[in-house]
Amino acid sequence: MARARAGCGKSSRLLATPEFNVALFAFLLNYPWEFLQVPFFAKMPEMGHWDAVLFCTRATLGDVLISLVAYWVVAGGRRRRDWLRCPDARALLGFVAVGVVITIGLEWHATVLQDRWQYGELMPTLPLLGTGLAPLLQWLLLPPLIVWLARRQLLGVIYLQQVNPASAASADSAREKRQ
């Protein structure tokens, strides 16, 4: 029983970190988006199934990294890791802006400099930058949802810790006894 409580203590601590929640919800929201935008990229619809899954998974992991960088930039600017608990318009705008800037840079680098992928005929692009509209919309629409979901999760964990501090304390003491 003590082991189960100790495990709960570790998982509740992990759930209480903003970085974990940003990464979790960035993955959960960006993964389906990557699959939905497949028709907008050249050669993606013709790829083998597992090749396309691997490609979309890698792209999603890149999206998670971009989200974490955007989170850390805002946290650094605010000098507060817990800015997600009460995000204001400036924090949200910063989070979105960092993601958009990184995405535009990476899309340009991948399509122009490295030729890692190309947009298909269905992909509308921005006139001067040449960035595809789907990746840009991804970084305009999903980050506010990531912040909202991560905030709800963080506040829920905090609430549960306040409602039942004895279980959190007993989990911590059980873990200390094992070590």
Q: Where are the domains of the chain?
A: 2-178
How many residues does this entry show for the chain?
179
**What integer is the mean pLDDT of 80-108?**
95
Residues 29-47 pLDDT 10s:
999 999 999 999 998 888 9
- In single-letter form, the type of residue at position 160 comes to L
Give percent above pLDDT 70 in the chain: 86
Q: How many degrees, rounded to 5, is the angle at CA 89 between CA 87 and CA 91?
A: 55
Judged against a pLDDT cut of 90, whether residue 7 lies above it is answered with no
pLDDT band of residue 175 (cuts 50, 70, 90) is: low
Report CA dihedral (25, 27, 30, 35) to the nearest 10 degrees.
-140
Q: Per residue in 150-171, is it b (16+ CB within 10 Å) or e — as a string?
A: bbebbeebeeeeeeeeeebebb
In eight-state DSSP terms, residue 119 is: B
Spatial contact of 113 and 80, defined as CB atoms under 8 Å apart: no
* Confidence label for 1 from pLDDT (cuts 50, 70 and 90): very low
Quote the distance between the C-alpha of residue 56 and its chain's center: 15
**121 with 173: CB under 8 angstroms?**
no
pLDDT in tens, 152-174: 998 887 777 778 766 555 555 55
Alpha-carbon torsion angle 45, 51, 56, 61, nearest 10: -170
Mean pLDDT for the chain overall: 87
- C-alpha–C-alpha distance, residues 107 and 113, integer Å: 10
